[in-house]
Structure 1
Amino acid sequence: MQKRLTYKDLHEKVKQLEFESIARKQAEDAFVLIEKKYRSLFENSLLGLFQTAFNGRLIDANPALARILGYENRENLLAAISDFKQQCYVNPGQREEFIQTLRAKGQLTGFETQFYRKDGRIIWVSESARVEYDERGNIVYYDECLEDISIRKQNENISSILFRISNAVSTTRDLNELFLSIHTILKDVVDATNFYIALIDESEGRLVFPYYADEVDRNYLTSISNVYNPNTPGYTAEVIRRGQPMFITDEVSQKLGLQGEGVPSKVWIGVPLKIKEKIIGAMAIQHYTNKYHYTEEDIHVLISVSEQVALAIERKMNEEALTESEAKYRTILENIEDGYYEVDAAGHFTFFNEATLKILGYTREELLEKNTREVVDEPNYKIILQANKKVARTGKAIKGVEVTLMRKDGLPCPLEISISLVKDSKDKILGFRGIARDIADRKQAEEEHKKLQAQLLHAQKLESIGIIASGVAHNFRNILAGITANNNLLQLKARDNPEQLEITQRVLNAIKRGAQLVDSLVQFSRKGNAEELKTVELAEVVNETYDLISKSFDKKIEIQLNLENSLYVKGDYSALSQVVMNLCTNARDAMPMGGKLTIAVKRKGPRAEIGIRDTGQGMTPEVRRKCFDPFFTTKEVGKGTGLGLSTSYGIIKAHEGDIHVYSELGQGTSFKIFLPLVTANTEERVPGPNPLIFGRSQKILIVDDETDMQLPMEEILISLGYQALAVSSAKECLAQYRLWRPQVVLMDRNMPEMDGITCAEEIIQSDPEAKIILISGYDEVGINGIDPAVKQMIAGYITKPIDMVELSQVLS
């Protein structure tokens, strides 16, 4: 039976109910307040807050999530998303991974994945969540939080890209491989399916496209000329000229009046490649179908990495240029004949080319173990040391240092070295480098040149002596001419007095010996000029030479002649005499203590042989091989020109002959000359004395500035049956020729005021039929001979002293 409540009990119960009501009200008010605060946080949070059901349905979401995913408001978002996993996750499998981890742990933070936005763009997000359970432990929903980390990821990616691009410079082999690597790296953060790099060729002012990859345009341009010209079309050229990135769609292109390169694209992004404000080129990406394919974030990525790309390209270009330069440098070093070497500060060899090894005779391994001191003697080491100190002190290279190093085989090696410093990047001296030229040949050539100069000087002195001899001979002949003329006059007047005739004959013989001596001097002062060849009797040539050498050679030298007479050759008498004299002189010089000189002339089949043999020192094989070389001599300077044998060789060859030498050291020397024989020409060689030929009162005009010649010549000609008139100058001659009209003019060649040749030319000009005979102390040929034009002009040439018989025959 239920107890009946008292008033007190009822009062207490009422008070309890009032308390519970108040508490419930307070709790409800607190819950409303908390819910209001939570809603405010939920609605105003910058993070995307949302709830998802077990089946993947989006239960609730705040405005921040709608904004992150690209929706206008939360209502549109909630209405649009029916399957959170399939619609939002780029990789739905990652949602499965996320949920599994969340269920296992009860909560999860910082799960990074990629979401789709409403416009299709992909963003990076960081997702956190916890599981809400009911009182029975069943999952009710997932409370989740989403943060857009695209910018952070982009920055991380950019940092990674910058590092990877920088690293690609050292990991790629060449520029083309670097371009491919850059393209591959960029594709990780931006759609670079259609991508290219353009570089400026400053030397030609054009834009070249060394790399492009394009799925649509397969025939892309290789270059654009006049890139800086405002009228040059193309998006890339515009980016280069502006120096600014460009985001170009069809609308922008039309608005700016621009035209792209190749196949038109819907959207094109290009950025300049700059290094400290210097533009070296541009890179670009493009899409051909969707103008919304790229965003500002994509251009931000390209801008962010463009400088690193430019630096990478420049570094690789410099690296390739350096590699190419080093290859050229090494090729040059290995192919030059000069030695190139580097030594450290202590003088140890650290680098050298093949030429250095060849010069010093070492292997590469051997020389790397050597110090400079080990390949040079003390005096030359001091030269190198002083040069190195000077280079180190001044910092300037030194050229032309001459030193002698020692080869591995011990032979000296004269070198000319240029020395400079080797420094590191901090300007610290590491050692020295040098270029060494082997100057052994040059040194030898310099010595030979000095020797040749001395020989040439001696030859010039001899030539001068020859010229002087010619002049002396001329003056001496003039003296003999006066004596001869007066002696001839005495002979004519003493025809009936035998005693006087004998005296005049002795005088004439002395004159002839003097004339022969002068002729010999003149013959040997000539240069061997080729005259008109005549029939020459070889024994006569040898005998004439013998007359000279028998009087001038040391009496300790015995001279023996074995001559076969009547052997004739066609030749230059003077030149052949020079050959015999040269060989005899060499024989004399080979016998300073005396000996025997044998000269022989004999027939050898169709040729004549001249043999000249001495018992002198003989020749070594090397000297024998070189004896006919010009300027080669074993004699001291001043005692031989080195021209005698070479001149003789040339003369004999000009005569269609041969000359051979046979010699052994200590066994003497034998020269044999072979010349083709000819039959004697009787017209050239008239035997026996010639008779006087008298004139028939013809007029002879004598022109000579020597008064000692005028009177006797005039009397001789009158005695020979001529009318004679003598004058002392060319001026008088011209006057008398016009008045007297002589048949013949005997004209002295050398006269003051006007010489005989000039006077003869004036006479021939007025009278082409005039007959003029030149008389001179100079020979008709040789150093002071006359030229062919004068020879044709005159009727004859008589060399002083004048033989009366020769004169009578020439006049006839």
Structure 2
Amino acid sequence: MIPVPYGKKEFAEVATSARGFLRSVIESLPDLVCVLDCERRVLAFNPNMRNLLGKSADGVSGRDTPWFFAESEAENYAREDEEAIRQARPLYDRERRVVLPDGPEVRLMMHILPLANREEGVVGLAYAGRDVTAIRKLEQDLRNANMRLSSALAALKLAQGRIIEHERMNALGEMASGIAHDFNNALMPILGYSELLINKPELLADRTEALNLLRGIQTAAMDASQTVRRLREFYRKPGEEEKAVGDLNAQVKTAVVLTKPKWQSEKSAEGVRITVETELGEIPLVPARESQIREVLINLILNALDAMPRDGTLLIRTRAEGRGVELEVTDTGVGMTEEVRRRCLEPFFTTKGESGSGLGLPLVYGFVQRHRGRMDISSAPGKGTTVRIWLPSVLSGDEAIQERKAYKPIGSLRVLVIDDELPSRILLKKMLETDGHHVETACDGGSGIRAVAAACFDLVITDRAMPDMNGDEVAVEIAKIRPGLKVIMLTGFGDIMNEEQRKPAGVDAVLPKPVTLALLRETMANVMSVRTEQRGDGSMRVTGLA
């Protein structure tokens, strides 16, 4: 509240007077000022306010209430003014809209200031404010720009994802024919040895020879299984759950195996002999997802192979360097000119013509930058190329690698095998009976549920993809019928489910197909090492087996 030495009647006369102290004060203020009486009749303006209002301010005689406010807000503004007069309390920073005839809307940030004397109290009101129209326009422009930027950023992320996916598919396509070659090579001994044993039963009489043939079949089957798993590892998407620390040496080995069809099979078919050598030092883990490390290594290897049209050597080294790890990939290829070396990290720059995307090395460089590393490329025409990457290491406290749990052999169990594929049921039955277990089989989920309801089992091994009732539904029903009965799910999707940490309700462990006897034994022992008992009140108690 601002004190003034006038009563209500005198205040109106003084405020409207062309001369006098109060009028001089009003006109000298730099803000936009408007003076009103207690009835909210406009008495005077300072020049700044008059300039804003223009011709609409002419002829003010103390009879008009503020006509310049937006009609839709006039009642709200009147209530605020009346509150300030009634309570003799100023209201600060009230934004008001001014709408003038044939003019743009103006935004004013105003203080509502009661004017009072000691005898009569509030005798009038003053608006003091500033024009914030330009500021509000800038704020709106900024919001619009932020929205456009957010939209552009989302589009950029989408494009980046598509580019990365495109590059991944390019690399996969380059290796596809070699993978098919490896898979056919694995199938060759399986088909050949099995035909020999079927067509020449007399070979079974020679125990040593028969075992050799069977071991050849087993090795080939394991090779084929690993080919499928390695393909899955290559195409694993970065968003899938995995530990956020990676073993660089392990991924070097994996990348060399994954690209073997390219550097061995395809190059040999072209009459080119490539030798891949590794010198892996003792190094700590690095703070990066293993799928990303693997893609970086595959990109580097494929780039190096493209640079070696003739016989050559690719050497991959790792070593501890300061507080990090250094990776070095050296080829004996054609090398690069200084101009190409300077530009090779530019997106879409390529010397391979239409066959190259120009994204391999830029993606590698992007990975290195995101992980606070360094990358250096040295090359010369005819001298080959060396790519050096330094990545920070993980602190020792974060280097915990979960050890594989030891397990104790288990005794004879009553096991139910549920699988709609007859060969799988027969094989599992024989494998389990070999270890002394008592085994029953069911050809579908419904039959399995009926068997569980009719007899007592220690363990159920079920397939997942079955008609009518799948393995997920079977596990749920078993939990209702026999709470605490252990369930192992055996499925061709086992690797994917374990990587994504997806275990259906009621399932104690998930195993991939094909499964080895050793892995089956280990999983059964781990699952059966914990016994779940149901109390009388319906709650569960978990204890270790003696």
Distance 2:489 2:61 in 1: 91
Among 271, 274, 277, the alignment partner of 1:558 is 274
Matching of residue 520 in structure 1 with residue 369 in structure 2: no
Q: Secondary structure at the match of 1:697?
A: coil
Letter of the aligned partner of 1:609 in structure 2? E
Letter of the aligned partner of 2:442 in structure 1? V
Letter of the aligned partner of 1:221 in structure 2? S
Matches within 5 A, 1:331-346: none
Matches within 5 A, 1:683-698: 684=403, 695-698=410-413
1:672 corresponds to: 388
Among 50, 61, 64, the alignment partner of 1:221 is 61
Among 467, 480, 490, the alignment partner of 1:752 is 467
Among 230, 242, 246, the alignment partner of 1:531 is 242
- The two structures have a TM-score, normalised by structure 1, of 0.36
Deviation at 1:643, TM superposition (A): 5.3
2:234·2:295 contact (CA, 8 Å) conserved in 1? yes
Deviation at 1:710, TM superposition (A): 0.8
Structure with more relative contact order (C-alpha pairs < 8 Å, separation 6 or more)? 2
1:750·1:756 contact (CA, 8 Å) conserved in 2? yes
1:634 corresponds to: 350
Matches within 5 A, 1:308-457: none
Distance 1:454 1:658 in 2: 25
Letter of the aligned partner of 1:561 in structure 2? E
Q: Secondary structure at the match of 1:554?
A: helix
Unaligned runs of 5+ in 2: 1-52, 68-155, 199-203, 526-546
Matching of residue 618 in structure 1 with residue 339 in structure 2: no
Deviation at 1:584, TM superposition (A): 0.3
CA 1:735–1:792 in 2, change beyond 3 Å: closer, same or farther? Answer: closer
2:282·2:319 contact (CA, 8 Å) conserved in 1? no
1:577 corresponds to: 294
1:441-493 superposed Cα distances (whole Å, 9 cap, x missing partner): xxxxxxx99x9999589459669979x99xx9xx99xx99x99xx99xx9xxx
CA 1:600–1:708 in 2, change beyond 3 Å: closer, same or farther? Answer: same
1:729 corresponds to: 444
Distance 2:462 2:265 in 1: 37
Letter of the aligned partner of 2:508 in structure 1? A
2:491·2:511 contact (CA, 8 Å) conserved in 1? yes
Distance 2:229 2:377 in 1: 32
Q: Secondary structure at the match of 2:460?
A: strand
Distance 1:453 1:531 in 2: 19
Distance 1:802 1:223 in 2: 96
Distance 1:728 1:611 in 2: 54
2:152 corresponds to: none
Among 509, 513, 525, the alignment partner of 1:800 is 513
Among 377, 386, 390, the alignment partner of 1:662 is 377
Deviation at 1:798, TM superposition (A): 1.9
- The two structures have a TM-score, normalised by structure 2, of 0.52
2:319·2:327 contact (CA, 8 Å) conserved in 1? yes
Distance 1:502 1:697 in 2: 30
Distance 1:634 1:575 in 2: 22
2:15 corresponds to: none
Distance 2:440 2:246 in 1: 36
Distance 1:498 1:809 in 2: 28
Deviation at 1:809, TM superposition (A): 1.5
Letter of the aligned partner of 2:376 in structure 1? V
1:455·1:640 contact (CA, 8 Å) conserved in 2? no
Distance 1:749 1:578 in 2: 31
Q: Which moved more, 1:798-807 or 1:600-609?
A: 600-609
Deviation at 1:512, TM superposition (A): 1.7
Question: Between the two proteins, what is the percent identity of the paired residues?
Answer: 20
1:773 corresponds to: 488
CA 1:226–1:775 in 2, change beyond 3 Å: closer, same or farther? Answer: closer
Distance 1:752 1:786 in 2: 25
Deviation at 1:207, TM superposition (A): 6.2
Corresponding residue pairs, total: 358
CA 1:683–1:725 in 2, change beyond 3 Å: closer, same or farther? Answer: same
Matches within 5 A, 1:476-555: 497-528=207-238, 529-532=240-243, 533=245, 537-538=249-250, 540-541=253-254, 543-545=256-258, 547-555=260-268
Q: CA RMSD in A?
A: 5.2
CA 1:616–1:508 in 2, change beyond 3 Å: closer, same or farther? Answer: same
1:657·1:673 contact (CA, 8 Å) conserved in 2? no
Matches within 5 A, 1:62-73: none
CA 1:588–1:711 in 2, change beyond 3 Å: closer, same or farther? Answer: same
Deviation at 1:517, TM superposition (A): 1.8
Deviation at 1:566, TM superposition (A): 5.3
Distance 2:509 2:246 in 1: 18
Letter of the aligned partner of 1:778 in structure 2? F
Letter of the aligned partner of 1:611 in structure 2? E
Distance 2:56 2:242 in 1: 77
CA 1:526–1:761 in 2, change beyond 3 Å: closer, same or farther? Answer: same
2:379·2:386 contact (CA, 8 Å) conserved in 1? no
CA 1:460–1:701 in 2, change beyond 3 Å: closer, same or farther? Answer: same
Distance 2:449 2:390 in 1: 52
Deviation at 1:648, TM superposition (A): 4.3
Among 392, 411, 418, the alignment partner of 1:703 is 418
